[in-house]
Structure 1
Amino acid sequence: MKTNPYRIFTEFYYQKTGMNPEIHFHSHPQYEIYYFHSGSCDYIIGDQIIPLQPGDLIIMNGMTEHCPRVKGSAPYVRTVFSFDPYLLQIFDPSMKSCNPFLPFEILRNDHFRLNPDSRKECEAILERIHRFYHQRNIVSYERCLLAFYDLLMFIYGLCQEKMTYKQKHTNDRERYVQQMMEFIEARYTGDIHLDAIAAELHMNKSHAVKIFRKVTGMTVFDYIYRRRINQAKILFLHKRDYTVTEVCFEVGFKHLAHFSRQFKKLVGVTPHDFRKSIHDTSSV
């Protein structure tokens, strides 16, 4: 098949059914839009596990590792777009009075459960994009682009309140904490020292620790342990051949007893029992 000369997206699947047996976490520099039509599936983004319902919409900035976890035998049907941020350049200047990619920049990753009217509108836009996408002529390309812009504006409308709130309520302290979280995200599987975090932010260590606790309600190390445990749960789900000890070291704990204690504190069961429940049933 010849390449479509009017291709807009890096990837586009409309109402795709089924998936590869091997599910892999992945990240990419492209933005992504995911719409769930039917089936039984959890979607994992970073350390979030989202149980999906038909009509759910997810936007992602792509850089956070993500993947679906399909459950049961019901057909798994979804529509997926991935596209480069520079795609913004192809829109006419008059269509950029509000940046259609702003939700991906401000919210980064977010999940929406559409009501029946919104779901009907969204699915009509998706069908329109699909109808024009595979036609190899300039008129269809322009109509596909307009339909895609309509989808972006639909998403923008869903995000407006959240974006306004986030912009309005993000103060200096929250920005510092966000920077600390990004520092931790890149290094949580290794040794993390408060001195290194403070140096990264050019802050006094005790001041950085105090700000983090005030904004998040937890200590820096409580946050690190929570991140590691969330990752451990994901590894148990997707790396079923991993032992508890292997997962323990993979997520950054140095001692199995400490890992088991933190896991039970946060999850409510031991890592051994959690792993066993996954092997004993088709879903957790």
Structure 2
Amino acid sequence: MDENIKVFFRKSDKQWSHDEFPYHSHDKFEIYYFHSGDCKYVIGDRIYQLQPDDIIIMNGLTLHCANPEMTAPYERSIIEFSQEWIKPLVNGLQVSELLIPFYKLSNSLLRNVDKTILCEIEELIRALSIQMSEQLPQSKDLRLHNRLVNAKVSTLFVQLLFKIYELSQSRLAQVPLYESEKDYHVERVINWIDEYFTTDISLTNIADNLNISKYYMSRIFKEITGFTVMQYLMSCRMNRAKFLLEMNPEKSVLDVAIESGFESPSHFSRFFRQQLKMTPTEYRKRQNSARLVKSNRK
């Protein structure tokens, strides 16, 4: 069940480093509920200054990260769930429409939600968290226990999807994608990198093409996102490399490195190992093995 859905209810941090919230992507849909703190959320080229009770629905494939300030505890609830798991459930109930928000409104923010609905959503996430962490009672049949827990989790989660779907159908407050000149310039930088990250680029290239001071660009990017421009660039390249390694098993590591924008195969392998603690070849083998295991279960 853990590989199908992960639930974090009111996870709270009082101290942290920005390294704990890296740019990342994954192949799951995500529901993110912001409870409290001082946090900007970056999804692709969108930057949101979060307010308490904001809800974000995400396609995890888009690079995203939270950038909380340590001026207040950072509290949020998060659910990540697999499309492969949820599709048969909603199709079986003949309500495949419940996934429309994650396709058509992907990476969107829901704000000014009615308090009653928020309480219902929070209670469903809390109940999911309890079910996911439930321990096996002594003398209970393991298979029966797992079936019951899976059924409870599935039922609760479909109820949550109904709430999200209903919210997506109403016209909630329009949320500005940026609120300052700094946000605007950072979005321009992200857009430019997203288009050209596979080429040989530098800070000077980016600044010149966007007609902005390199030093100002570097400073505001770090201020808004919590990461340097080059860290974001390398995140894009890593994301592309992981995709190519997994989806194109016939493609050589050399070709993956070149097509992802790395300066050389040795640089690619070294950086990859630093980030994931394994070589590109080891990563490919692990992903292929995981895919085979999933196929055999079907």
TM-score above 0.5, yes or no: yes
Look up the match of 1:231: 190
Q: 1:8 to 1:148 in 2, by over 3 A?
A: farther
Aligned residue pair count: 194
Q: Select which of 147, 153, 161 maps to 1:152.
A: 161
Q: Select which of 177, 199, 203 maps to 1:247.
A: 203
Rounded to whole Å, the distance in 1 between the matches of 2:185 and 2:219 is 21
Percent of aligned pairs sharing the same letter = 26
Q: Give the secondary structure class of the aligned counterpart of 1:91.
A: helix
Q: 1:139 to 1:119 in 2, by over 3 A?
A: same
Partner amino acid, structure 2, of 1:272:
Y
Partner amino acid, structure 2, of 1:58:
I
Q: Select which of 6, 9, 12 maps to 1:11.
A: 6
5+ residue gaps, structure 1: 1-5, 163-224, 236-244, 264-269
Look up the match of 1:121: 120
Q: Offset of 1:84 from its aligned partner? A: 1.4
TM norm structure 2: 0.55
Q: Give the secondary structure class of the aligned counterpart of 2:156.
A: helix
Q: Offset of 1:139 from its aligned partner? A: 2.6
CA contact (8 A) 1:85 1:101 kept: no
Superposed CA RMSD: 3.4
Rounded to whole Å, the distance in 2 between the matches of 1:32 and 1:90 is 18
Partner amino acid, structure 1, of 2:104:
I
Q: 1:246 to 1:157 in 2, by over 3 A?
A: same
Rounded to whole Å, the distance in 2 between the matches of 1:74 and 1:234 is 32
Q: Offset of 1:94 from its aligned partner? A: 5.0
Q: Offset of 1:68 from its aligned partner? A: 0.3
Rounded to whole Å, the distance in 2 between the matches of 1:281 and 1:108 is 22
Q: 1:233 to 1:38 in 2, by over 3 A?
A: farther
5+ residue gaps, structure 2: 137-144, 172-183, 195-200, 227-298
TM norm structure 1: 0.58
Rounded to whole Å, the distance in 2 between the matches of 1:103 and 1:155 is 8
Rounded to whole Å, the distance in 2 between the matches of 1:109 and 1:234 is 19
CA contact (8 A) 1:232 1:247 kept: no
Q: 1:41 to 1:279 in 2, by over 3 A?
A: closer
Look up the match of 1:102: 100
Look up the match of 1:167: none
Rounded to whole Å, the distance in 1 between the matches of 2:214 and 2:73 is 31
CA contact (8 A) 1:37 1:77 kept: yes
Q: 1:20 to 1:38 in 2, by over 3 A?
A: same
Q: Give the secondary structure class of the aligned counterpart of 2:93.
A: helix
The 5 Å alignment of 1:168-183 reads none
Rounded to whole Å, the distance in 1 between the matches of 2:86 and 2:223 is 48
Q: 1:279 to 1:155 in 2, by over 3 A?
A: closer
Q: 1:139 to 1:10 in 2, by over 3 A?
A: closer
Look up the match of 1:219: none
Look up the match of 2:73: 75
Rounded to whole Å, the distance in 1 between the matches of 2:187 and 2:48 is 18
Q: 1:100 to 1:274 in 2, by over 3 A?
A: same
Rounded to whole Å, the distance in 2 between the matches of 1:9 and 1:80 is 14
Q: 1:142 to 1:20 in 2, by over 3 A?
A: farther
CA contact (8 A) 1:60 1:104 kept: yes
Answering whether residue 215 of structure 2 is matched by residue 272 of structure 1, we say yes
Q: Give the secondary structure class of the aligned counterpart of 1:143.
A: helix
Q: Offset of 1:11 from its aligned partner? A: 3.0
Look up the match of 2:41: 43
